[in-house]
């Protein structure tokens, strides 16, 4: 059985995951046993987290995804390979690998213990790596504070605040759009340099996050697009965020007719047809390559660059014909 990712609609909110899935899969006519088996066999995600509880009550706007195959069991917690680019008393900057959630979704903590997925988040790994660097027990350090996020399959630079002051000052910089955030991404075809501005909503009318033309609805999103390199049938883009809405880059590029290679969610046109991804991307081809901000305490300018990781570098080289 297959099913495109979907956003929980208003009439579905409050119903169990099993009931909503069975309704969505009506053309396949699955039994209740079939649906429960899909969930307990680790093939269903709610948001960025795997859900193995058929009785989980869904909330409006949550993203549900039926995976092609079962997901591995949670791996042992380890900080091996996590790179700390900067550490001081107020901030820590790390290189996020793909496949790790930035933070645990609050709703996951509400699930019964036996249904929780305990893969460490980047917030966990960064705290443990910080403790190791300082030669202190992790439990003796305060939790790291979230000031921005990267999608699970996005790699790149990310900063955590270590103090309430840093969290407050960095949050203000993000709200004022003074933080430098630049991404590299690969799209099919060619998209000329431009600035994309729209109002983003949770449901644009077809169950997907997207843009709306309804006045005074949604949140303003601004994405600046430049061409980094033309490839054979594809383009490596340099994308700078002015705002930082959920999935902003992926939505804007998809709505422009050039979805990010490897994206499995934002691939549907408004007429219901889907873009075909023939790129062979190893994952979502999106990487946070540049990060810059003013230090929250002493005000000095701080800046880091991170090249494409090995998997995306190899992918781009293949598209060059190299």
Q: Determine the Cα–Cα distance for residues 162 and 29; give it in Å rounded to an integer.
A: 51
Segments forming the whole domain that contains residue 120? 83-320
Same domain for 13 and 119, yes or no, is: no
CA distances from 167 to 143, 150, 297 (A): 12, 17, 11
Same domain for 88 and 40, yes or no, is: no
Per-residue pLDDT of the chain (322 residues; tens, 9 = 90+): 889 899 999 999 999 999 999 999 988 889 999 999 999 888 898 887 778 889 999 998 888 999 888 876 555 445 667 999 999 999 999 999 998 989 876 666 555 555 555 578 899 999 999 999 999 999 999 999 999 999 999 999 999 999 999 999 999 999 999 999 999 999 999 999 999 999 999 877 777 788 888 878 889 999 999 999 999 999 999 999 999 898 999 999 999 999 999 999 898 877 778 888 999 999 999 999 999 999 999 999 999 999 999 999 999 999 998 5
Instruction: Exactly one of 48, 53, 124, 151 is catalytic; name it.
Output: 151
Q: Cβ contacts of residue 203 below 8 Å, gap of 6+? A: 7, 9, 61, 209, 210
Q: For the chain, what's the residue count?
A: 322
- Asked if residue 73 is part of any domain, the answer here is no
Same domain for 93 and 52, yes or no, is: no
- Asked if residue 12 is part of any domain, the answer here is yes
Please state the domain count of the chain: 2
| Active site (annotated) includes residue 113 | no
Helix (H, G, I), strand (E, B) or coil at 192: coil
- pLDDT, residue 217, reads 86
Same domain for 162 and 293, yes or no, is: yes
Report the CATH number at residue 140.
Answer: 3.30.2350.10
Count CB atoms within 10 A of the CB of residue 163. Answer: 15
- Asked if residue 1 is part of any domain, the answer here is no
CA distances from 309 to 24, 184, 238 (A): 37, 11, 15
- Asked if residue 76 is part of any domain, the answer here is no
Same domain for 21 and 152, yes or no, is: no
148: nearest Cα among 248, 259, 263: 248
Q: Determine the Cα–Cα distance for residues 67 and 311; give it in Å rounded to an integer.
A: 22
Q: Which of 37, 66, 95 is the last residue of a domain?
A: 66
Q: Determine the Cα–Cα distance for residues 127 and 108; give it in Å rounded to an integer.
A: 20
- Asked if residue 96 is part of any domain, the answer here is yes
- pLDDT, residue 14, reads 93
Same domain for 257 and 158, yes or no, is: yes
Same domain for 124 and 262, yes or no, is: yes
Same domain for 154 and 60, yes or no, is: no
Which tokens in the block code for residue 141?
A: 């350090």
Same domain for 131 and 237, yes or no, is: yes
Residues 287, 237 contacting (CB under 8 angstroms): no
Report the CATH number at residue 15.
Answer: 3.10.290.10
Same domain for 42 and 148, yes or no, is: no
- Asked if residue 216 is part of any domain, the answer here is yes
Indicate the DSSP class of residue 131: H
- Asked if residue 246 is part of any domain, the answer here is yes
Q: Determine the Cα–Cα distance for residues 286 and 30; give it in Å rounded to an integer.
A: 36
pTM of the shown model: 0.77
Count CB atoms within 10 A of the CB of residue 102. Answer: 19
Same domain for 154 and 269, yes or no, is: yes
Same domain for 107 and 215, yes or no, is: yes
């Amino acid at each position: 059985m297959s099913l495109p990712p979907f956003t929980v609609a208003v009439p579905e909110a409050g119903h169990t995951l099993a009931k909503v899935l069975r309704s969505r899969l009506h053309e396949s006519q699955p039994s209740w046993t079939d649906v429960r088996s899909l969930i307990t066999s680790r093939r269903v995600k709610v948001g960025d987290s795997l859900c193995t509880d058929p009785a989980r009550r869904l909330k409006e706007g949550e993203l549900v995804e039926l995976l092609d195959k079962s997901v591995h069991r949670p791996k042992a917690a380890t900080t091996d390979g996590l790179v700390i680019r900067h550490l001081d008393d107020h901030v820590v900057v790390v290189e996020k690998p793909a496949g790790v959630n930035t933070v645990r979704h609050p709703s996951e903590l509400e699930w019964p213990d036996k249904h929780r997925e305990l893969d460490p988040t980047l917030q966990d790994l960064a705290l443990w790596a910080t403790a190791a660097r300082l030669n202190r027990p992790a439990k003796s350090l305060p939790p790291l504070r979230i000031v921005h996020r990267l999608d699970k399959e996005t790699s790149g630079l990310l900063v955590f605040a270590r103090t309430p002051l840093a969290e407050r000052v960095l949050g203000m910089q993000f709200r004022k759009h003074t933080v430098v955030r630049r991404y590299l991404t690969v799209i099919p075809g060619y998209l000329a340099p431009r600035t994309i501005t729209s109002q983003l909503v949770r449901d644009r009318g077809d169950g997907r996050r997207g843009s709306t033309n309804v006045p005074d609805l949604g949140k303003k999103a601004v994405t600046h697009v430049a061409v980094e390199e033309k490839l054979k049938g594809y383009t490596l883009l340099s994308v700078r965020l002015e705002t930082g809405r959920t999935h902003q880059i992926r939505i804007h590029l998809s709505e422009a007719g050039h979805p990010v290679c490897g994206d499995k969610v934002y691939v549907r046109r408004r007429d219901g047809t889907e873009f075909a991804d023939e790129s062979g991307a190893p994952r979502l081809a999106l990487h946070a390559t540049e990060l810059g901000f003013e230090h929250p305490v002493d005000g000095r300018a701080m800046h880091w660059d991170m090249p494409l990781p090995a998997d995306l570098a190899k992918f781009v080289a293949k598209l060059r014909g190299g």
